[in-house]
Chain A
Amino acid sequence: MRFVEEVTSTLLVNGRAHQLGLEPRVTLVDALRDRLGLTGTKKGCDRGECGACTVHVAGRRVLACMTLAVMVDGEPITTIEGMADGNSLHPVQEAFLRRDAFQCGFCTPGQVMSASACIAEGHAGSAAEIKEWMSGNLCRCAAYPQILAAVQEAGTTAAEASR
């Protein structure tokens, strides 16, 4: 086992492989934004408290600001840029638009990534359940009622589609 100051890593983001030389201290949110130009993922608190940097790694929602990029070498990563299918938005994105679930929009990419995972996990069964399982995503504009409505709507659509 050899300790190195720079690691050649493959970041597999939204189905595309990017080979990067990374210092081990670089977080995933910085690698996505500064090295790959994927600025949809937002850097809010940068200390694991706000959820704005939420992405999916290996199918799970995680915080990109608390993840060292070298530690997700080769793992499939999905960011907000990977949610739409060509020109058609992801159902959660559609629901956020329909329900006007944002004001400034800064937290929205993280909300959408967290909400799609929340629904896929089966944690969108009731308003109370959504509030609990979406509590890791803060909205400084306090658009919570609209966000809740959007997650409920997208969750119902997903449940009907899987029936």
Chain B
Amino acid sequence: MRSFAYAAAPDLDAALGALRQPGTQVIAGGTELVNWLKEGIATPDRLVDIAGLPLNTIEVTDDGLRLGALARMSDVGAHPRVSADYPVLAESLLLAASAQLRNMATIGGNLLQRTRCPYFRAETLLPCNQRAPGSGCAALEGDSRSHALFGWTPECVATHPSDLAVALTALDADVVLRRSGGTRTLPVRELYRQPDAHGSRPTAVDPDELITEIQVPASPRANRSHYLKVRERTSYEFAVVSAAAVVELDGPRITTARLAVGGVAHRPWRLAEAEDALVGAPISDPRSLREAVARSFTAARPLAGNGYKVELAQRAAVRALLTAGGVA
């Protein structure tokens, strides 16, 4: 690991001030950044430790949830009001990583993790436009089992690994971004960028900005919701595909559905056409649900190695809807 200078930020302003100098990186839980440092994916000159800042509150109000960016995955996942009112959110957190990693990792950092594409993470440098801009994309002609169905370009076919981001996208959540002298709010669904060949940043967060809070609106009600994670072993594994469903019912019929799928794009993929088609559909009829979900998959563009995901993701979405609706 390359050496770097270190300082623990005494307050938020000091951290934001430090971030204005190029070459400065923040560290909180460390579960991603320490790996980046070891692999040379990140090579900061200065590391500012924000773990001690008071940004870890979990606040449940009538307007929704306000989650400090430094709240640990384990604490948010175990919070009784979060699991009662936003099951999709608690499930996405508790199905992620391991107990040890959840005790360390913060929810803000979780959103900023990078792809698990084996070419991006390779110990020996391989063609990867995210890792080395302009070097190409080894996955496009290589092993593309874990890669994207939607939104990809020849420059990058990677998917984003965060379970939490999929749940937050279905919940229409926002992130609050702070910089010295400014605050802005950004929908989670606009957080991630499709990488290009020029090493553009993978998220909309500027280098001098920090995620300080995540806001989840209370309306529509989110207690009929579910996160389904499909993986190659029962526990402690990234998703092959996943689905987050939030439904509202009037008797047996769906009045609104919000549906996001993970493991299929560089960001959580909202199924807009399916959501429209689900209005009025009977929640207990898997065939109707499947027909609605299929409308969002006519645009799928599978790669050589991931055609299986087209079927798998649709089944996952249907099952997430059924479970959210209390049917399965």
Contact = CB atoms under 8 A, between A and B. Distances in A.
Nearest to A5: B5
By size class, the interface of chain A is: 35 or more
A123 B99 contact: yes
A4 interface: yes
Contact of A67 (B48, B74, B97, B104): B104
B98 interface: yes
A78 to B, nearest CB: 14
Interface in B87-101: 97-101
B310 interface: no
Contacts of A136: 97-101, 236
B78 to A, nearest CB: 9
Q: Chain A: interface secondary structure?
A: mixed
Interface in A42-89: 46-48, 51, 54, 60-63, 65-68, 70-71
Interface stretch (A23-31, A91-99, A147-155): A23-31
Interface in B1-21: 1-10, 14, 17-18
A63 B3 CA distance: 21
Contacts of A103: none
B300 interface: no
Interface in B78-117: 97-101, 103-104
A70 B51 CA distance: 12
B28 to A, nearest CB: 9
A46 B103 contact: no
A63 B49 CA distance: 18
Given A27-B34, A131-B235, A2 B7 contact: yes
Contacts of A71: 8, 27, 30, 49, 51
Most buried by A among B6, B8, B51: B6
Contact of B7 (A4, A61, A134): A4
A117 B104 CA distance: 14
A145 to B, nearest CB: 15
Given A1-B7, A25-B4, A47-B38, A68 B100 contact: no
A83 to B, nearest CB: 17
B194 interface: no
Interface string B237-280: 00000000000000000000000000000000000000000000
Contact of A25 (B10, B37, B49, B51): B37
Contacts of B17: 1
B46 interface: yes
Contacts of A25: 1-4, 37
B47 interface: yes
A52 B4 CA distance: 27
B236 A46 contact: no
A132 B9 CA distance: 36
Given A7-B6, A60-B103, A66 B30 contact: yes
Given A66-B104, A71-B49, A48 B236 contact: no
B103 A66 contact: no
Given A48-B101, A62-B100, A71-B27, 9 more contacts: A1-B7, A25-B3, A48-B35, A63-B104, A66-B30, A68-B49, A71-B51, A136-B99, A136-B101
Top 4 nearest A-B pairs by Cβ distance?
A: A136-B98, A24-B6, A135-B235, A3-B5
Interface of B: 1-10, 14, 17-18, 27, 30-31, 34-35, 37-38, 46-49, 51, 74, 97-101, 103-104, 234-236
